[in-house]
Chain A
Amino acid sequence: MLTAHKLARFIDGRPIWSDLSFSLRSGERVALRGPSGSGKTLLMRSMVGLDAIDQGEIRFRDRNLDQWDIPRYRRLVRYIPQDAAFLSGTVRQSIEQFFSFRANRDLVLDTAELERNLDILQLPGSFLDKTAGHLSGGEKQMVAIMRSLLLSPEVLLLDEPTSNLDEAMVSRVEALVEAWMTGDAERRFVWTSHDTRQLDRLTSRSIELNGVPATSEIRPDSSLDTTDRAIGRQSRTSGAS
């Protein structure tokens, strides 16, 4: 189980989110919803320690984030940044490079799995020999997701994973993540998207970030102030309705 307990993050004294608690259980498909600027990316980054949290704690497998060897933790709890691609070399080399990290050394690149992934994405085998400069934004996004899944994480935090993809590619990426989910009962993901229908389709539950109203600083006596206390809350939605 991955749990977040009373998380808060302040920037320039202003809470981005605060008193935010939620948990992710095995097999869950969760949407992270909120208007832009509500700190969805910041929350995902904080969940893997790429950004600091000011209050609260994150626990995974009964251990606090501070008690984890962070590379080891990130191997299991995987955040895929927006525009995560690679700089040089071919697609295959960039995948192999990630297997060479110390925390991933016990993993072996499963070529059969790689081919299955290419099949789902409907990409030719020659795609692996493409170099960074010859990939479109959408192709880079597909490389990033495929590369992450090959390293078999347990929890996946996907930040707008299909923002650069056309409609046909979106459904292939969704199918790829779906295939990964069925590979192991422990697996779970959190997904952000501007496309609420995609979230309704893929997820069964939501974490909502309501965001701080932009006007709350300008109008100190505003009734909006009351929302400052608990701007992050968890809610259940009825899933694909």
Chain B
Amino acid sequence: MEETSYIVIGNWQLALAATLLLVNIALSVVLRLGMGRDLIVGAVRMTVQLALVGLVLEWIFQTRQPVLIVLMALIMAGLAGVAAVQRTSRRFPGVYWNSLVMISASAFLVTGAAITGILQVDPWYDPQYLIPLLGMVLGNALTGISLGLDRLMEGCTRNRNWIETMLSHGASRWEAAHEEIRQALRTGMIPTVNAMMIMGIVSLPGMMTGQILAGAAPLDAVRYQMVIMFMIAACTALATLGVVLLAYRMLFSPDHRLMSSLIREKK
């Protein structure tokens, strides 16, 4: 085992940490709050998922095969693209492709620029940088996409009458959709903007905390956090804009018609 600057957590210590949750589960059972089941399922899922990811990452970090690393990155982007759509309450044909293409394009663009241009990681596929940075960027873009898509489809459904009134008075599809697009982008960006607003005041961001725990100097950790936040904001904005614009082109036909029949409620 190589020398580490942090305390390695053993199995016993893990089990001890899990008992922290037992207290809450006991309380929930006694007071009949109905949270016990959710807490147990959540805890078990978290444990299994993280253990598996840990094994995969360990393997990838040891082999350091660029093909495997890129494959892992593609799978992560694919899962994020699908998850973004699954969180919305309305669908239209092609929405999964829109999400997959836009989240992959913007996440690879932003992460690629950061790794090769800003951090100048050598080799560029070094998983120590590529995987965590991509993961954080994807996770946030996913939220932006699902919120933005949801808001756009909600707006086009709820304000259909108003949108069609504008269209029938000579508005182009862009003029009629503009307010809905604006609102969708704003909604998609709210979590990212809020996170930047309170960062360091209300909360210490998870990645920075992790680096400090791992022994990094706080000022270095802060610099990493700043870079990742710029990356997250850029990628979320790009991905949300891309998906919302593709959805707009789908929902508003070139002959300036709102295709409201394409929007289906989630079953």
Chain A residues within CB distance 8 Å of chain B = 48-52, 66, 70-72, 74-75, 78-81, 83-87, 98, 101-104, 144, 147-148, 151
B58 contacts across to A, CB distance below 8 A: none
A72 contacts across to B, CB distance below 8 A: 170
Task: Decide if B165 is an interface residue (CB 8 Å cutoff).
Answer: yes
B162 contacts across to A, CB distance below 8 A: 84-87
User: Smallest CB–CB gap between A43 and chain B, Å?
Assistant: 14
Task: Decide if B159 is an interface residue (CB 8 Å cutoff).
Answer: yes
B164 contacts across to A, CB distance below 8 A: 50, 81
Contact between chains at B166 and A81 (CB < 8 Å): no
A104 CA / B172 CA spacing, docked (Å)? 10
Contact between chains at B165 and A78 (CB < 8 Å): no
What 1/0 mask marks residues of chain B from 158 to 195 whose CB sits below 8 Å from any chain A CB?
01011011111111100100000000000000000000
Contact between chains at A104 and B170 (CB < 8 Å): yes
Task: Decide if B91 is an interface residue (CB 8 Å cutoff).
Answer: no
Contact between chains at A98 and B167 (CB < 8 Å): no
Q: Give the contacting residue for B169; candidates A49, A87, A147; CB below 8 A.
A: A147
Grouping DSSP codes into helix (H, G, I), strand (E, B) and loop, the A interface class, with mixed when no group exceeds half, is mixed
Contact between chains at A81 and B175 (CB < 8 Å): no
User: Smallest CB–CB gap between A120 and chain B, Å?
Assistant: 20
What 1/0 mask marks residues of chain B from 139 to 175 whose CB sits below 8 Å from any chain A CB?
0000000000000000000010110111111111001
A66 CA / B168 CA spacing, docked (Å)? 16
Contact between chains at A78 and B161 (CB < 8 Å): no
Task: Decide if B255 is an interface residue (CB 8 Å cutoff).
Answer: yes
Contact between chains at B169 and A148 (CB < 8 Å): yes
- Which 9 pairs between the two chains have the least Cβ-Cβ distance? A103-B170, A75-B170, A84-B165, A70-B256, A79-B168, A101-B171, A71-B170, A101-B170, A104-B170
A52 CA / B161 CA spacing, docked (Å)? 17
**Please, could you name 20 A-B residue pairs with CB atoms under 8 Å apart, sorted by A?**
A48-B168, A50-B257, A51-B257, A52-B257, A71-B170, A71-B256, A74-B167, A75-B169, A81-B161, A81-B165, A83-B161, A84-B165, A84-B168, A85-B161, A85-B165, A87-B159, A98-B171, A102-B170, A102-B175, A103-B171
Task: Decide if B134 is an interface residue (CB 8 Å cutoff).
Answer: no
Contact between chains at A78 and B257 (CB < 8 Å): no
A104 CA / B170 CA spacing, docked (Å)? 7
A144 CA / B161 CA spacing, docked (Å)? 12
The answer to whether residues A71 and B257 also contact, given A84-B165, A86-B162, A144-B165 and a CB cut-off of 8 A, is no
User: Smallest CB–CB gap between A165 and chain B, Å?
Assistant: 18
Q: Give the contacting residue for B255; candidates A49, A85, A144, A148; CB below 8 A.
A: A49
User: Smallest CB–CB gap between B210 and chain A, Å?
Assistant: 45
B255 contacts across to A, CB distance below 8 A: 49, 66, 70
B133 contacts across to A, CB distance below 8 A: none
A74 contacts across to B, CB distance below 8 A: 167-170, 256
Contact between chains at B172 and A50 (CB < 8 Å): no
User: Smallest CB–CB gap between B102 and chain A, Å?
Assistant: 28
A71 CA / B258 CA spacing, docked (Å)? 13
Contact between chains at A49 and B256 (CB < 8 Å): yes
A42 CA / B169 CA spacing, docked (Å)? 17
User: Smallest CB–CB gap between A11 and chain B, Å?
Assistant: 10
A148 CA / B166 CA spacing, docked (Å)? 10
A217 CA / B171 CA spacing, docked (Å)? 40
A81 CA / B168 CA spacing, docked (Å)? 8
- Using CB atoms, name the residue of chain A closest to B158: A87
Q: Give the contacting residue for B168; candidates A80, A85, A87, A104; CB below 8 A.
A: A80
A163 CA / B138 CA spacing, docked (Å)? 51
User: Smallest CB–CB gap between A84 and chain B, Å?
Assistant: 4
Q: Give the contacting residue for A78; candidates B169, B171, B172; CB below 8 A.
A: B169
Can you name 6 extra interface pairs (CB under 8 A) apart from A101-B175, A147-B169? Answer: A50-B167, A70-B255, A74-B256, A86-B165, A98-B170, A102-B172
User: Smallest CB–CB gap between B154 and chain A, Å?
Assistant: 14
A48 CA / B169 CA spacing, docked (Å)? 10
A147 CA / B171 CA spacing, docked (Å)? 14
